Amino acid sequence: MGEYCIYLRKSRADLEAEAHGEGETLSRHKAALTELAQRLNLPISKIYQEVVSGELIAERPEMQKLLFEVSAGRWDGVLVMEIQRLARGDTIDQGLVAQAFKYSDTKIITPIKIYNPNDEMDEEYVEFSLFMSRREFTTTNRRLMRGREASAKEGKYVGSVPPYGYKKVKLENEKGFTLEIIEEQAKIVRMIFEWYTDGAEINGEKKRLGPHAIAVRLNELGIKSVVGKDYWTIYGVKNMLMNPVYIGKIRWGYRKVKRVVTPEGKKKTREFAEGGDYLLVDGLHEAILSDEVFEKAQTLHAENPPTPIKYRSKSQNPFAGLLYCAKCNHAMSMRAPSGRQTSAYIGCNTAGCNNIASPFPLVEQRLLSILRGWISEYDVSKEQLEQEKIQSEDLTTAIASLEKEVVSLKKQLDNVYTFFERGTYSEEVFKQRSSVLETQISEIGGRIDTIKSEYALALERQKVQTEFAPAISRLLETYNTLSPAEKNNWLKIIIERAYYEKNQSGQRHDISPDCFTLDVYPRLPKSGK
């Protein structure tokens, strides 16, 4: 029968439809594709649900995982609402998708048609659909960008998230949005600029604070950040200090999107416009700050500009997107060796977070040790696998038998209603017989649900036993030969997320440098044992 999966992704049209109250798109698509799988008798082992919406494959993590497994030949078919959902990037991305499905002989299954990439006609249709998807995307995107620029020139706010201190409000009797001051937040904005330009009272002395010190102080005061999170960051404070929206301006095109090609593929980066190469106009909204305060902040910033961060062509952190701080829930980062340090460090960069960093090799060794322990937990004998297979077949047979019994009972119940309508049964006989049949149908339905749950757990156990442990073994065998990016790809197949916490510094003689906790969560639950 093979293995099949579902891929879900929203289009721009879906987002617009949701805005008009047409319901959550992914839920509707999931229900439609699940129903299609049941109708075609296709077992669904996994559902990839793209939360983010990106033009490039590099911006869509679920698509990356799907392509990795399609290329490895794991799936016999992928269910998707339409071919265009798979790729809307440039020709290279489209080619990657088409080749992955063709060379692995993986079918693309839509509600309209099942496409076989190795069939000449289907292959041409798939390639044509991907091409038309890209053309439609670029045309729509160009039109939207022109519309946004025109709105910005009129002083309207065209961003999706309002800056701290404002809320986004719809303009009356015309299209577009503007900003309205949230006074409680506006007081914080004024206070941040005052700390930066004039200083804050610290131990009876007034001192100017930099972005990092401001972020730490805000966190200590328990003030929520721009997106309502617990922690302010140095970057959030810096962006606020440079944003002319606070003096009633609208800035457009200040951070331009630039596409770059790296050894790991294409990426989109945002670079600050230089030399005033951006739009700056008077906005329709009210200012929070005076021009004098804002200009003073810009002058001070110009006197001490931040050190530019060089772009890295290669990812050096195998734990990127996997390792998180157990205290503030932010992603941990890897710091390059500096000074007398001989190795990189894993630490949390969130301002005010007191999670202590550790040498990267120690964290890596702890993680690999945990993975070695998982192998023994998940590993089973061939006899156990065969027994699991027999149990699954028995459960399938039991479900089919009970479903036939339900069909038979429903026919009997229909006959009872028919006899009652014709007058063959009295009301008393009708109630008695229909009650008995409905009770039997309900009881069998409950048994079916229970057995289906057992069947789902059995399939999960088989998947753990046949795929998960071997994947860990392959990773451990080749780990030292892999690049950081390759390690990261493998770890993301095995690990859902890991949390790091360290409360005591290893610099003390009586404290071991590996006195940290590392909680690692697998992608497949340990109930599969």
463 & 439 share domain: yes
278 & 347 share domain: no
Domain extent, residue 461, equals 314-529
283 & 416 share domain: no
Q: Which residue did the predictor score with more confidence, 505 or 258?
A: 505
516 & 463 share domain: yes
255 φ/ψ angles, rounded to the nearest 5 degrees = -110, 100
- Tell whether the model's pLDDT for residue 427 goes beyond 80: yes
Q: At 210, which CATH number?
A: 3.90.1750.20
247 & 340 share domain: no
Q: 35-44, 134-143, 442-451: which has the minimum mean pLDDT?
A: 134-143
Among 270, 303, 336, residue at a domain's last position: 303
> Does 226 fall in a domain?
yes
- Based on the structure, what is the number of domains in the chain? 3
Query: What pLDDT was estimated at residue 416?
Result: 84
For residues 344-361, average pLDDT: 87
Contact 147, 169 (CB under 8 A): no
CA distance 315 to 334: 10
For residues 322-340, average pLDDT: 84
> Does 154 fall in a domain?
no
CA distance 491 to 417: 59
Query: What pLDDT was estimated at residue 171?
Result: 92
137 & 224 share domain: no
Q: Which residues of 425-453 are buried (b: 16+ CB within 10 A; e: fewer)?
A: beeeebeebbeebeeebeebeeebeebee
CA distance 374 to 394: 29
Among 149, 174, 201, residue at a domain's last position: 149
For 415, the token pair is 């006959």
Query: What pLDDT was estimated at residue 301?
Result: 85
> Does 155 fall in a domain?
no
C-alpha torsion angle, residues 140, 146, 150, 156 (rounded to 10): 50
> Does 141 fall in a domain?
yes
For 210, the token pair is 């930099």
Contact 207, 308 (CB under 8 A): no
381 & 491 share domain: yes
For residues 312-327, average pLDDT: 79
pLDDT confidence of 321, banded at 50, 70, 90? confident
Average pLDDT across the chain, whole number: 80
116 & 22 share domain: yes
| Strands 107-109, 77-79: pairing kind | parallel
Query: What pLDDT was estimated at residue 25?
Result: 73
| Strands 495-501, 323-325: pairing kind | parallel
254 & 384 share domain: no
Q: 40-49, 75-84, 383-392: which has the minimum mean pLDDT?
A: 383-392
pLDDT confidence of 310, banded at 50, 70, 90? very low
351 & 500 share domain: yes
Among 149, 183, 212, residue at a domain's last position: 149
For residues 104-108, average pLDDT: 90
Contact 248, 166 (CB under 8 A): no
Summarize pLDDT for 114-139 with one digit per residue, the tens: 988 888 888 787 777 777 766 666 67
β-pair partners for 335: 345
Query: What pLDDT was estimated at residue 296?
Result: 93
Please provide the DSSP assignment of 465-496 as one string.
Answer: IIIIHHHHHHHHHHGGGS-HHHHHHHHHHHEE
Q: Is 165 helix (H, G, I), strand (E, B) or coil?
A: coil
Query: What pLDDT was estimated at residue 136?
Result: 67
For residues 13-27, average pLDDT: 56
For 464, the token pair is 């753990």
- Tell whether the model's pLDDT for residue 263 goes beyond 50: no
- Tell whether the model's pLDDT for residue 101 goes beyond 70: yes
- Tell whether the model's pLDDT for residue 22 goes beyond 50: no
For residues 32-42, average pLDDT: 90
Query: What pLDDT was estimated at residue 386?
Result: 65
Query: What pLDDT was estimated at residue 483?
Result: 85
For residues 376-397, average pLDDT: 68
61 & 132 share domain: yes
